[in-house]
Amino acid sequence: MAAYASGFRAELAAGGYAPSSAARHLWLMARMSAWLEAMRLETGTLTAQQVERFLRAHHEHGHWFPRSSRGLVPLLTYLRRIGAVLPEQAAVLSAAEQLLAHFGGYLASERGLRDETIAGYVHAARLFLDAVGYRHGRDLGQLTPGDVRQFLLTQCQCRSVGSAKCVVSGLRAWLRFLHVEGITAMSLSGSVPAVAGWGSTSLPRAIDATSAQALVDSCDRRTGKGRRDVAVLVLMSRLGLRVGEVATLALADIDWCSGQIVVRGKANRIDRLPLPVDVGQALADYVQHGRPNVDHQELFLRVLAPHHALTAAAVKAIVYRACARSGLPALSAHRLRHTVASELLRRGAGLPEIGQLLRHRSLASTAIYAKVDDAALRHLARPWPGAA
């Protein structure tokens, strides 16, 4: 592997690895190279089984870095990328998995859904295929409304209202997809009944401004991780961004000159929002003093190398860790969005203005905040009988 060492060294540097970490990975590369030579194996024929054999021999000689094959991912990824090692053999997908993969691509390209929503819909479709016996030769063209109803009766008996609604939404999308693809002669989505659950029956679960500030104050601004977490929390508690919107932000989305930020929301919707001074200061502090100096377009990156973009799950974890540090119970990241709306309402903003900031497609989505508008509701309240 000596011919690939200089390129791997450059790859580690570009990924943001510290010199000491890069040296350990290069030493590991030399160890594997010597083992391949001793076993009279070529680099290009390296397989997963041979990697495990190398690790066992490596550990028998008293070397415990890495403890598992995960530590070899940087090296193997680089070798596969340059073609020095054959790519991993992909498992042959069954007909059901191929159809589900096609369904996921349809949801992303035609519907513009986010990864988490797509995963939920595909899961519902997989449950349906198993229930109707598709893996055992059932022809989907022969599906009937009775199959749909029987599946939902079985699923909804063991689910909460919210979980059942997710399955129903995924099933409707799946049945429409089958009709669009010509697999079923007619769309069976109309045979999917609604779940007996009423929307807008609960109150928005906002937290007070003091608690929201406590989450921000719990971050250590002296570290790059703390500066990143401050920027994430301020974005969510001041502009009401969703976790997915935070994760997909890019450096080019911030227009420093005009004081605006581009937000890519649901259904591929793109909006421009004003950038408040405190939000801009938090972002600038992170970009200048906390963000790893790597060639990535994403705004928020992992602290440890390799510095990939944060995922939506990682953004949620930032909120959970801030709750633990500040002594608050574990809060959903979406509650910061409710906090923005409730605080604006308290300061006198109207529902249309709140809907514009939260980028709701319908005013009905914003109407739930009317329930917490005490000032407006006080004029509608009838006096208690017998009260002075």
- Beta strand pairing status for 260-264 and 254-255? antiparallel
> Can you give 249-291 as a three-state secondary structure string?
CEHHHEECCCCEEEEECHHHCEEEEECCHHHHHHHHHHHHHCC
Sequence-ordered list of residues with C-beta below 8 angstroms from that of 311, at least 6 positions apart, any chain:
247
CA–CA distance, 308 with 21 (Å, rounded to integer):
17
Sequence-ordered list of residues with C-beta below 8 angstroms from that of 10, at least 6 positions apart, any chain:
none
The radius of gyration of the chain from alpha carbons, rounded to an integer in Å, stands at 27
Tell me the two tokens of residue 161: 């209202």
Cα angle, residue 281 at apex, residues 275 and 285 outer, rounded to 5°: 135
Catalytic residue numbers, as ranges: 242, 266, 334, 337, 360, 369
What's the distance, Cα to Cα, between the start and end of the chain in Å? 90
Burial class (CB in 10 A: 0-12, 13-18, 19+), 358: buried
